[in-house]
Structure 1
Amino acid sequence: MPNLLLTGIIAAAFALVHIVGKDLRFLQRTPRSIWLSLAGGVSLAYVFVHLLPELAEWQKASARHIGANAFAVESHIYLAALLGLVVFYGLDRLVRQSKRKNRDVGQPGSSPRVFWIHLSSYAVYSVLIGYLLVHREEADLRGLVIYAIALGLHFVVNDQGLREYHGDAYDRTGRWLLAAAPPLGWLIGTGFALSPLLIALVFGFLAGGLVLNVLKEELPEDRESRFGALAAGAAGFALLLLIAR
């Protein structure tokens, strides 16, 4: 198990991202901040160069643990990744439709019901990220630092996206809910361990959610995203990951 003090500090840093995000005014503009696109590229590189190979290691560990056919376990893990992508795509669609309906009747933002569904889902997502600080296949310092950098930048991107979706409601209540989630996940992880197969499925779900959450922030035309920054972040972090192996 990784050093609990260090992982606890990282969980607190994840929380701090949500708390101070509203004061990072240089990120809240159009065209999209070059730093957000750069961070998105880092997250994508982490998924495809580091997290997916790590899933393969979890797949092997899970197969040994349950004595199952390796291909069958691998299928379950990547189905979990597909589920993560689909779930967060559905949430994104739900919020956009709610905002469109409210705009048609002259009301800002999404409905309170949709707001809480959206934020609660992201809170669960963040709890899982906090939990995986403690329970990971690569529990060494190098793997932990990579995880902290990639997921910390991912939280920066998500925080600004949720603020754009929900405005003042996010700053009043949503950010505090999400700030509490990573430390809560870390706390659960220090006292409770899932089976290797379930941890692998959580990793798969996280990978799918990461891909969707980065792309949904970069693809909309009205964001005027910075492709060069996204590509530079992806290429640069991928190179660092390959060198660090």
Structure 2
Amino acid sequence: MGHVSLWPVLVLVLIHLLGSRLRFLHGFPRSVWLSGAGGVSVAYVFMHLFPELHEGQEHMEENVFWAEEFLKHHVYLVALIGLATFYGLERSVVSAKRELVKKDSRKVEAPKGVFWVHIGSFALYNAIIGYVLFQREETPSQSILLFTIAMALHFLVNDYALQEHHKETYRKYGQWVLVLALLLGWSVGYIQEVNKTTVFILTAFIGGGVILNVLKEELPEERESRYWAFLLGAGAYAILLLSL
């Protein structure tokens, strides 16, 4: 095996460990930095990840005999499944918190059972990202840099949302679970290489998850998100991607 770069996974680990402690991200209305980070993440998915999925769709139709007959656009369906999965999880957490507040208005954290389901799903998500991150070792350094930046900013958005839902429980347990999952996914990529079809499927799932996890934080009216910051982040990163 050739040279392996550790810096991408270490950057994402540091984001998990330090991101939720950045005070300038907290407060109301929503931080311009979070809205801008969300814009960058979404721009990356639409401008870079989805074009890769188009290539993946062609690869799967050529290499998986049932693909064209069973599901012509199954790679994009996986992206939709990723989006729907995280939408369902978010709704379950919000509903559980709402029911808890009805019983006791002092309760601000989601129930422990919901916490572990929520963190477990994001741990799987992180493991997939860690695996895909390692697979990009074979791509040009420019590609892995763009992916790392987009995922780092996306993790900032996710960490803030998870801490908002689960408070100190997230700091005590959740962030460590996500770090371990990220490292586990990266390590699996180092030890065992899977076929190209699987990588495309995992990448599609990430794409759907990124879109949902960003938009669910930006759209609620009560958050008073900064649309201009979201637009600036998305526009700037889109211009960068187009210029490369």
Q: TM-score range by the shorter chain?
A: over 0.9
Which residue pairs with 2:47 in the alignment? 49
CA contact (8 A) 1:59 1:197 kept: no
1:149 counterpart = 2:149? yes
CA contact (8 A) 2:137 2:144 kept: no
Residue among 82, 87, 90 paired with 2:88: 90
Amino acid at match of 1:190: Y
> Quick one: structure 1 residues 3 and 86, their matched pair in 2 at CA, closer, same or farther if it must change by over 3 Å?
farther
66-75 or 14-23, which deviates more? 66-75
> Quick one: structure 1 residues 144 and 18, their matched pair in 2 at CA, closer, same or farther if it must change by over 3 Å?
same
Amino acid at match of 2:189: G
Amino acid at match of 2:58: K
Which residue pairs with 2:166 in the alignment? 166
Unmatched 5+ stretches in structure 2: none
CA contact (8 A) 1:41 1:231 kept: yes
**1 CA distance for matches of 2:95 and 2:62?**
45
Which residue pairs with 1:26 in the alignment? 24
Which residue pairs with 2:199 in the alignment? 199
> Quick one: structure 1 residues 41 and 138, their matched pair in 2 at CA, closer, same or farther if it must change by over 3 Å?
farther
Q: How does 1:1-245 map to 2 (within 5 A)?
A: 3-4=3-4, 6=5, 8-66=6-64, 75-106=73-104, 107-136=107-136, 139-244=139-244
222-231 or 63-72, which deviates more? 63-72
Unmatched 5+ stretches in structure 1: none
Secondary structure (helix, strand or coil) at the match of 2:193 reads: coil
Q: How far does the alpha carbon of each residue in 1:136-179 deviate from its partner, in whole angstroms, 9 at most, with x for none? A: 49711111111011011100111111111111111111111112
RMSD across aligned C-alpha pairs, in angstroms? 1.9
Secondary structure (helix, strand or coil) at the match of 1:135 reads: helix
Count of residue correspondences: 242
> Quick one: structure 1 residues 50 and 12, their matched pair in 2 at CA, closer, same or farther if it must change by over 3 Å?
same
Q: TM-score, normalised by structure 1?
A: 0.93
Q: How far does the alpha carbon of each residue in 1:4-43 deviate from its partner, in whole angstroms, 9 at most, with x for none? A: 2x2x221121111111123201101111111110000000
186-195 or 146-155, which deviates more? 186-195
CA contact (8 A) 1:54 1:137 kept: no
**2 CA distance for matches of 1:39 and 1:193?**
31
Amino acid at match of 2:87: Y
